[in-house]
Amino acid sequence: MSPARGSLAVAAVLAAGFVFGQVSSKPPEPKPFTPGEPVEQPIPFSHKTHMGVGLKCLDCHAIKAPGDFAGFPAETRCMACHAAVKKDSPHIRKVAEARKSGTAIAWKRVYEVKEFVYFSHEVHHRKAGVDCGVCHGKVAERDVLFQEKPLDMYSCMKCHEQYKASNDCQLCHDAQ
Ligand code: HEC
Ligand code: HEC
Ligand code: HEC
Ligand code: HEC
Ligand code: HEC
């Protein structure tokens, strides 16, 4: 299904649900979760190596205002170390070229919600204090990331129920 049709379908379900009062705010049935395959990146970046040198998650994923996204680090941040560290590595040469040309490295996404779902890192991490690992697993131990936690509608709603956060459809979907 194309993204545009996906949002239309959700809007239609939401509208029908509100009109006929059939939409409950109970979580849907749990879906079985299978962890994803390791995601091969354009540059073999290891979280394990970089957490090992004393960096913090927010050093690279700054959650800049308005904070929907955690964000990816700019290549200048990488080169602060790599101007000296492993500068002759072919991988680091690619990072240096990306910085020079101003073209951001095209990291492949590991976690991504559909465009009709609203999510905020600012609210979950800074305001509610949920640790990154609850939603992304043991990142600091990984050389290569893969989806290790489910982020489907059931998982979102189950946690909202536990935290007594709202499960109104419009919290996560725009019913326009
Ligand atoms: C605080 C310093 C620091 C920062 C910032 C940093 N790195 Fe590193 N990086 C290291 C160290 C230390 C190593 C391990 C070097 C070794 O194996 O001797 C490393 C290793 C690597 C390697 C493996 C190189 C090879 O050929 O073995 C890659 C690729 C890499 N970093 C990419 C990045 C990218 C991309 C960024 C930015 C998102 C980044 N690094 C930011 C310190 C840093
Ligand atoms: C040195 C910078 C650096 C640090 C420190 C760092 N990351 Fe990352 N992170 C990256 C880069 C570069 C990528 C893209 C490559 C990849 O997916 O491995 C990434 C990707 C991710 C992704 C996948 C995003 C997606 O959906 O595509 C998650 C989740 C993540 N990091 C979480 C964390 C957490 C949690 C920590 C702390 C434990 C952390 N990162 C520390 C640089 C960093
Ligand atoms: C409550 C669950 C939750 C928590 C806590 C959380 N994330 Fe995420 N993260 C998500 C979801 C959902 C997505 C996909 C969002 C999207 O597609 O817009 C995501 C996407 C990402 C991405 C890639 C896209 C982006 O937003 O830039 C990175 C990087 C990331 N998270 C890092 C982190 C880090 C670092 C922390 C801790 C500081 C963290 N996340 C805490 C659920 C969470
Ligand atoms: C680990 C528990 C947890 C998970 C998993 C989780 N949430 Fe939340 N979420 C919360 C809590 C707690 C709040 C209330 C935060 C507050 O207002 O202090 C919240 C609030 C929200 C809000 C309101 C934001 C605002 O602007 O006030 C939205 C939207 C939301 N979550 C979407 C999602 C989506 C979409 C997912 C799944 C991809 C998800 N959440 C997964 C705990 C969670
Ligand atoms: C806490 C956040 C959250 C709340 C509250 C929420 N949803 Fe969702 N919804 C999601 C997420 C995340 C997805 C995407 C699921 C996926 O990608 O597997 C989704 C997907 C959907 C879809 C698309 C079909 C599908 O399964 O992918 C429909 C329709 C939908 N939601 C309707 C609703 C209705 C009706 C309500 C109110 C009862 C509601 N949602 C409440 C997060 C939420």
- For residue 104, which of 38, 40, 42 has the smallest C-alpha distance? 42
**Which structure tokens are listed for 88?**
């002759």
Q: Does ligand 4 come within 6 angstroms of the Cβ of 118?
A: yes
Confidence of residue 29 (pLDDT cuts 50, 70, 90): confident
Q: Are residues 161 and 102 in the same domain?
A: no
Q: Are 61 and 73 in contact (CB under 8 A)?
A: yes
| Nearest ligand to the C-alpha atom of residue 28 | 5
Q: Does ligand 2 come within 6 angstroms of the Cβ of 72?
A: yes
Which residues are CB-contacts of 175 (< 8 A; sequence separation ≥ 6)?
Answer: 11, 14, 15, 18, 169
Q: Are residues 63 and 121 in the same domain?
A: yes
pLDDT more than 70, % of the chain:
84
Distance 133 CA to ligand 5 centre (A): 22
Q: Are residues 124 and 161 in the same domain?
A: yes
pLDDT tens, 144-160?
999 999 999 999 999 99
Q: Does ligand 2 come within 6 angstroms of the Cβ of 89?
A: no
Q: How many CB atoms lie within 10 A of CB 70?
A: 19
Count: domains in the chain? 2
User: What is the distance between the alpha carbons of residues 144 and 125, in angstroms, rounded to a whole number?
Assistant: 23
Ligand 3 atom with the shortest distance to the CA of 69: 26
Mean pLDDT of the chain: 89
| Nearest ligand to the C-alpha atom of residue 157 | 5
Range of the domain at 46: 3-74+113-172
pLDDT tens, 85-139?
999 999 999 999 999 999 999 999 999 999 999 999 999 999 999 999 999 999 9
Residue where a domain stops, chosen among 106, 129, 148: 106
State which H helix or E strand residue 86 sits in: none
Confidence of residue 11 (pLDDT cuts 50, 70, 90): low
